[in-house]
Amino acid sequence: MTMQADFVIIGAGSAGSAMASRLSEDGKHSVIVIEHGGSDFGPFIQMPAALSYPMNMSHYDWGYTTEPEPNLNNRRLAAPRGKVIGGSSSINGMVFVRGHAGDFNHWAEQGANGWSFADVLPYFKRMETSHQGGGIGGEEGWRGTDGPLHVRRGTAVNPLFQAFIDAGEQAGYGVTQDYNGSRQEGFGLMEQTIHKGQRWSAAEAYLKPALKRQNVSLVRGLARRVVIENHRATGVELEIKGSIQVVKAAREVIIAASAFNSPKLLMLSGIGPAAHLAEHGIDVVADRPGVGTNLQDHLELYIQQECIQPITLYSKLNLFSKALIGAQWLFLRRGLGTSNQFEACGFIRSQAGVPYPDIQFHFLPGAIRYDGKAAAPMHGFQAHVGPMRSPSRGAVTLRSGDAREAPVIRFNYMSHEQDWQDFRRSIRITREIFAQAAFDPFRGQEIQPGANVQSDDELDAFIREHAESAYHPCGTCRMGRADDPTAVVDPETRVIGVDGLRVADSSIFPRVTNGNLNGPSIMTGEKAADHILGHTPLAPSNLEPWTNPDWETTDRLKQA
């Protein structure tokens, strides 16, 4: 059985779904999308409040873990990636953040020409419909109004959300009306990829509509390697129910398989560090030492506070309440089930001299781990806090030449002194915010780390034992100049040294962006599609993002 299309995309995730839609929409080209996972049907994925389930289910998640992390007490951290249509957008926390303008300008400075903020903003606008205040819109000129990805704010009914925003303002950090608009810095309402009460993944926004077209098809199987003949990608070797088949690409193969699986596939195909490939008996097609390196992530901690009013999610953790929430969602698409519960946030600068935010907060009106485990046995609230631009770098390498084996994932978390300074500062700032007058009616004792954890050494011990991944891996197939020996793809997402092959997903990010990565990953698919089709990129924006005028002298607002 031979399958063939103009474009073969490996991975039906955030970027892959966007590309499948854009490459097929004019009807001129055929597209095959390869996905190892299955359907996203069912309440565990579709119900926003059930977000802790799919990332802990082997049916939907690749189930990867890191190697023991030496600076985190040799703990192995969970490293989930979606193994389902929609990819990680079907198992993530549904938080929508574009990233800061400074992130993309840094990409361009690092050799990703054409990916500055002015260049990517039109793609962010093209991809979204922004719902705010009961209507479509958001900050004039900055937000999309007719794109396939629906983005909304939560109802923020719980008074703790407003208390968090008010406390941030009282601490002197200011408020932003739209952190995905001109001004990211400050505290405000968080945005969600939720529409009509259900998760609005890349599968819902892009892939499912595209699959209704005659020129798009989905093939389920495990991609073993890219077939390369005379330095040109001609297809993908697949394992389908135990048999090996080849899907042929008349024009191009595009890898969009995650920051873990994209470099793994390149290396299995003979593209990567020559010595490492030789170790595993793989013939070298292109010696690219950058494949698998530059691995980055965000780490976070949960700072938890007791709540003296019985208004938190703690009262909803019993079976009866869960059943009621589930029934409300199932039959009415209303109630607590329609939210991820992350409805307030903050982006701040850790100190004077930092030009744009480098700390992110997610606020939750409950004290419970992101994966749904280890709830505090009391009413509480928490902020997930972590630095945005860690200097630590890791790598993804092959465990063997067998495509069925998980890659070796080493982040080298907390391997720089700056990481420790940034995290200590993040904890102390969070405590300062929770100590503001806005929380006076609600604040009880500190649950975690606990009031007795104060010194640098005590905080460091807490970080070593409790820091968790925010699940934002990226950077392992870095985009850069074609003559950069450490770059993997050029600014048009073409793999350097091989024709007819591209990579387009979070693995090509030169550096991790501020906040959650689903938005930038979808944008990458949108923009890559124009490069693949040879379209003139959308005209750059001339909008100027807000920068704190006093950033050199204070981490707050001057007037505070």
**Are residues 405 and 399 in contact, defined by beta-carbon separation less than 8 angstroms?**
yes
Residue 473, class by beta-carbon neighbours within 10 Å (0-12 exposed, 13-18 middle, 19+ buried)? Answer: buried
Question: What is the largest distance, in Å, between two alpha-carbon atoms of the chain?
Answer: 70
Annotated binding site: 6-35, 84, 92-95
**Are residues 82 and 64 in contact, defined by beta-carbon separation less than 8 angstroms?**
no
Q: What is the per-residue DSSP string for 350-393?
A: SSTT--S--EEEEEESS---TTS----SS-EEEEEEEES-----
Helices 159-170 and 417-434 pack at an angle, to 10 degrees, of: 110
What are the start-end ranges of the E strands in 190-258? 191-192, 194-195, 198-199, 216-220, 222-229, 232-240, 243-255
Of residues 122, 143, 118, the one with CA closest to residue 133: 143
For the record, the structure tokens of 433 come out as: 């915010």
* C-alpha pair distances (Å), 412 with each of 2, 416, 486, 510: 43, 9, 19, 17
Residue type, 47: M
* C-alpha pair distances (Å), 140 with each of 132, 174, 209: 12, 21, 28
Q: How far apart are the first and last CA of the chain?
A: 69
Residue 534, class by beta-carbon neighbours within 10 Å (0-12 exposed, 13-18 middle, 19+ buried)? Answer: exposed
Question: Which of 231, 416, 472, 535 is flagged as catalytic?
Answer: 472
What are the start-end ranges of the E strands in 400-448? 408-410, 443-448
For the record, the structure tokens of 164 come out as: 């968090």
- Let me know the angle formed at the C-alpha of 200 by 194 and 202, rounded to the nearest 5 degrees: 145
- Is residue 195 annotated as part of the catalytic site, yes or no? no
Distance CA 261, CA 290 (A): 15
Of residues 266, 206, 243, 150, the one with CA closest to residue 31: 206
Of residues 106, 86, 124, the one with CA closest to residue 296: 106
* C-alpha pair distances (Å), 259 with each of 64, 179, 238, 293, 462: 12, 26, 20, 10, 28
Residues 6+ apart with CB under 8 A from 294: 393, 395, 475, 476, 478, 486, 510
List active site positions. Answer: 472
